A and B are shown apart, each in its own frame.
Chain A
């Protein structure tokens, strides 16, 4: 089966760095997404990794290791507005040649002053 695991909740301090991990067991891997979702709002796209390595985008970076089925999202210089849920989602190419996103349950990140 297809499975994605990420921690349920994390707490960090304003100005610090936090790493949110995601592990997956899927077939037909076609890339991994990170989305940010503030309470009561829709998910918004943060990053997409399809090759191994680190992708940096401002204060946010995302890392992928396909051999280990592992990714992390790194948030630097944390701000209060970064308090949100962070969703890991894996894109797979199915046998019927259609793409599908498999979603993790999300990690709720709480930023404290």
Chain B
């Protein structure tokens, strides 16, 4: 079974620039998550999709972050404009259903550095 694919692996941008990340979940996984992980901290959920609908985006800074999951498969996360404090690893994860006991599979992440 192919894993969760993410790109790019690394990105360096200047503050106030825009950036987009892409995620392709495991085939058949209905639930997709975007997490932000700052160095030394646990992952913070930004947004959760169930198919192509948003389940939870309560911690997404909506003034600068946006995400979409067209057709309930691939997803993109965008930051516009970026701030220095957005420097983090952005992890995409997917699960078969929303029920946590099926387990979450994470992608390799995108390491974003804002300078």
Interface residues of A (CB under 8 A from B): 4, 30-31, 33, 40-45, 48, 50, 87, 89, 91, 98-101, 103-106
CB atoms of A42 and B91 under 8 A apart: yes
CB atoms of A42 and B108 under 8 A apart: yes
Interface residues of B (CB under 8 A from A): 40-45, 48, 50, 55-56, 91, 98-101, 103-109, 111
CA distance A43 to B44 in the complex (A): 13
CB atoms of A48 and B45 under 8 A apart: no
**Known contacts A103-B42, A105-B41, A30 near B101 by CB under 8 Å:** yes
A39 and chain B: residue at smallest CB distance: B39
CB atoms of B98 and A43 under 8 A apart: no
Decide if the interface of chain A is mainly helix, strand, loop or mixed: strand
Contacts of B40 in A (CB 8 A): 105-106
CA distance A78 to B109 in the complex (A): 27
- Of B45, B50, B55, B105, which is within 8 A of A101 by CB? B45
A106 and chain B: residue at smallest CB distance: B42
CA distance A44 to B103 in the complex (A): 10
- How many Å from the CB of A90 to the closest CB on chain B? 9
CA distance A41 to B98 in the complex (A): 24
CB atoms of A105 and B42 under 8 A apart: yes
CB atoms of A42 and B109 under 8 A apart: yes
Contacts of A101 in B (CB 8 A): 45, 100, 104
Contacts of A98 in B (CB 8 A): 48, 50, 55-56, 98
| Additional pairs, 19, CB under 8 Å, beyond known A48-B101, A103-B44, A105-B40 | A30-B101, A33-B103, A33-B104, A40-B111, A41-B108, A41-B109, A42-B107, A42-B108, A42-B109, A43-B43, A45-B104, A48-B103, A87-B42, A91-B100, A98-B50, A98-B98, A101-B45, A103-B43, A104-B42
